[in-house]
């Protein structure tokens, strides 16, 4: 159904298009598109041959549908003791299972680096929570509160891959 493809330097415009979609802007707490040039610098540090040795380092993948249209992205972000996966699908391609499949394909890429894999999801993003749970992530009690310009204080909840839920509240 979908493929997850390692992003290359010449994929930046596609990546920027995805990251500039209204939903991606909203869920990341911004009021407008990211600055093209400064965002490009970040992108170039996270493509195929970039180092992935230190916390904060990342790797970016484009998500292509069966028609080879880039419908979203996934990324790996190295943390101190785990890998965090981020993902987004453009609105016009949502509700087709692309996010669920893209996350499923990205998990083994993350586990190559660390067994512990997490996603961090806003508490008000129920669609993304469902995607994570379908892929065997479990809601944890860990979260950070971020103050976003578009919504104020928001909890970013950690979901961990492959752990058993302890209480029924942690399953949706």
Domains of the chain: 3-170 (3.40.630.30)
Between 115 and 172, the higher pLDDT residue: 115
**Whole-model pTM?**
0.90
Q: What local confidence, expressed as pLDDT, does residue 171 receive?
A: 42
Instruction: Determine the Cα–Cα distance for residues 70 and 50; give it in Å rounded to an integer.
Output: 22
Range 123-131 contact pairs with CB under 8 angstroms and sequence separation of 24 or more: 123/154, 123/155, 123/156, 123/157, 124/151, 124/154, 125/27, 126/172, 127/94, 127/99, 128/27, 128/87, 128/99, 129/157, 129/159, 129/172, 130/172, 131/87, 131/99, 131/100, 131/103
Percentage of residues in the chain having pLDDT higher than 90? 76
Q: What local confidence, expressed as pLDDT, does residue 55 receive?
A: 93
143, with CB counted inside 10 A (0-12, 13-18, 19+), is middle
Q: At what angle do helices 12-19 and 36-45 cross, to 10 degrees?
A: 120
Percentage of residues in the chain having pLDDT higher than 70? 94
Q: What local confidence, expressed as pLDDT, does residue 26 receive?
A: 87
Reported in sequence order, the residue ranges of the chain that DSSP labels E, i.e. its strands, are 3-6, 58-64, 70-78, 83-89, 117-122, 137-148, 152-161
How do residues 11-60 score in pLDDT, each as one tens digit? 999 999 999 999 888 888 888 899 999 999 989 988 867 788 899 999 99
């Amino acid at each position: 159904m979908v493929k997850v493809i390692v992003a290359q330097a010449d994929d930046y415009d596609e990546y920027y298009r995805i990251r500039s979609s209204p939903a991606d802007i909203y869920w990341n707490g911004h009021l407008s598109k990211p600055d093209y040039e400064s965002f490009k610098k970040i992108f170039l540090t996270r493509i195929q041959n970039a180092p992935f040795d230190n916390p904060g380092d990342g790797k970016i993948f484009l998500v292509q549908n069966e028609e080879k249209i880039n419908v979203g992205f996934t990324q790996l972000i190295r943390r101190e003791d785990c890998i965090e996966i981020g993902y987004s699908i453009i609105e016009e391609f949502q509700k087709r299972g692309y996010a669920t499949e893209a996350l499923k394909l990205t998990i083994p890429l993350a586990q190559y680096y660390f067994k512990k894999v997490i996603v961090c999801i806003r508490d008000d993003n129920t669609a993304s929570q469902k995607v994570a749970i379908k892929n065997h992530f479990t809601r944890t009690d860990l979260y950070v509160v971020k103050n976003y310009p578009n919504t104020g204080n928001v909890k970013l909840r950690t979901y961990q891959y492959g752990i058993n839920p302890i209480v029924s509240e942690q399953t949706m």
